Amino acid sequence: MGIVVVGLGPGPYRALTLEAVEALHRATELYLRTREHPVVAELPPSLRWTSFDALYEQAGSFEALYEQIATILLERGAQAEVTYAVPGHPLLGEASVRRLLERAPAAGVPLRLVGGLSFLEAVLAASGTPGSDHVQVVDALALPPIVPTVPLVVYQVYKTAVASDVKLALLRRYPPDHPVVVIRSAATADEVVQRVPLAELDRGPTYDHLTSLYVPPLAPEADFGTFDGLVRLVARLRGPGGCPWDAQQTHASIKRYVLEEAYEVAEAIDDEDYAALCDELGDLLLQVVLHAQMADERGDFDIIDVLQGICTKLVRRHPHVFGSTTVADAAEVERNWEEIKRRERGARGTPSSLLDDLPRHRPALILAQAIWQRLVRAGLAPSRPEVLSRVQSALAALERPAEPAARATALGELLFALAALASLETLDAEEALRQASRRFLQRFRALEARLGTSGRTLAALAPEERRALWAPEERT
């Protein structure tokens, strides 16, 4: 008993390996995944075989089809030795063979592979490529992330609709005029090779079950659609022959741009301007890559360290997703997050204060609320009446005559108390102030526009107009 899986090569009978020919002739029970392969017509009449083509019409999906084939073969292989022949090489582009390899050990069925030339060799030879040390080989029906700077072979492009889906996916990585080689029936007498621009992939060529695509690589400097492409561009800007301004920057000299770009991202979100948000996120990402490139040049760390660090941290701080921890709600997630951070600080040998790791460069209002949020979560914050009393006390101190330093202290205490109130109310103080500023700007600009049409000046505002500007009507 057992299963022998035989690779039928890319097409003609002469391309079969000697071992494959011997395995086919020794087969007492021979199954073909499909009869739609050039070698089948050349098989000796003495070979008796059964194909699984009828299952293609019945199965609801390719996944279901491959599972069904594997089930049939494992059941037969548990009783006798069966031979299963597939196009090309059994380990390249053969999902049904993968299912067999996964399931055979548990089923107790021995499995042996007899290799063959794959479609890949034939496709590369037909494409006219000068050769490459690296090639991506992907299934048209399940495209993984593509690296456009590495040659690409796409198989199972068996109809125009599939070619259209592939085209749309590749246009995310390649320009519309990028050349694509369409290869049908490679290594057979019926071989057809066409070269078309990517944008016309689904407009001219004819497709069948023996059609594959070869996509030449993009030049590294033209790789605009991947993270690696951005990293290379930044390295080029800072490298020899690059940009003098970029080359002379340091972590300190561009530190302010990180904050500026982050605020511009927030502004685009406030404006619900998603084209601007896309643009600003790119500017913010550039700052990350620039700092990583500078650190790489010094030997401190590189962008891979940054990515590994954040991915590791995300997994470590989400045990309810990547581990066995269970949580009731988002509030418990936050408590777990803070506890994990506290343990991390302790593991680094630093004092484990409740208020550790509060970034000094946060805006003052955000920093104040961050302090109070930690106190609230720890159950150390005052009550709401106590906070309101502190607000009133600070306001009273501001009303009394005092030296500038004392008034500044009172103002600071007032703002700090308001940050505490926002935390107790689970409100975002910074966002509330930002929205209040936006509303004032809208009122002020509307007033300017109205006065401009009447020819009046801002200095001529009537008392009621001033009150409307500084104290708008209360909203219920």
The tens digit of pLDDT for each residue in 256-277 reads 899 899 989 988 998 899 999 9
The pLDDT assigned to 476 comes to 39
The pLDDT assigned to 351 comes to 57
8-state DSSP, 9: B
What is the torsional sign of CA 383, 385, 389, 394?
A: positive
What per-residue string of b and e applies to 41-66 under the rule 16 or more CB within 10 Å gives b? Answer: eebeeeeeeebbeebeeebeeeeebb
Half-sphere exposure of 355 (CA within 13 A, CB side): 11
Half-sphere exposure of 271 (CA within 13 A, CB side): 14
The tens digit of pLDDT for each residue in 355-371 reads 776 766 678 888 888 88
Which residues share a beta bridge with 155?
139
pLDDT band at 472 (very low <50, low <70, confident <90, very high): low
Of 1-15, 71-85, 368-382, least confident by mean pLDDT is 368-382
What is the torsional sign of CA 381, 382, 385, 386?
A: negative
pLDDT band at 346 (very low <50, low <70, confident <90, very high): low
Phi, psi dihedrals of residue 70, rounded to the nearest 5°: -60, -40
What per-residue string of b and e applies to 449-463 under the rule 16 or more CB within 10 Å gives b? Answer: eeeeeeeeeeeeeee
Mean pLDDT, the chain, rounded, equals: 89
**Residue type at 9?**
G
Which domains does the chain possess? 2-117 (3.40.1010.10), 121-222 (3.30.950.10), 227-316 (1.10.287.1080), 431-470 (no CATH)
The tens digit of pLDDT for each residue in 315-325 reads 998 998 998 88
Instruction: Flag whether pLDDT at 46 surpasses 60.
Output: yes
Range 80-98 average pLDDT: 94
The residue length of the chain stands at: 476
Of 117-121, 172-176, 242-246, 472-476, least confident by mean pLDDT is 472-476
Which of 59-63, 334-338, 384-388 is modeled with the greatest confidence? 384-388
Phi, psi dihedrals of residue 184, rounded to the nearest 5°: -120, 135
Instruction: Flag whether pLDDT at 347 surpasses 70.
Output: no
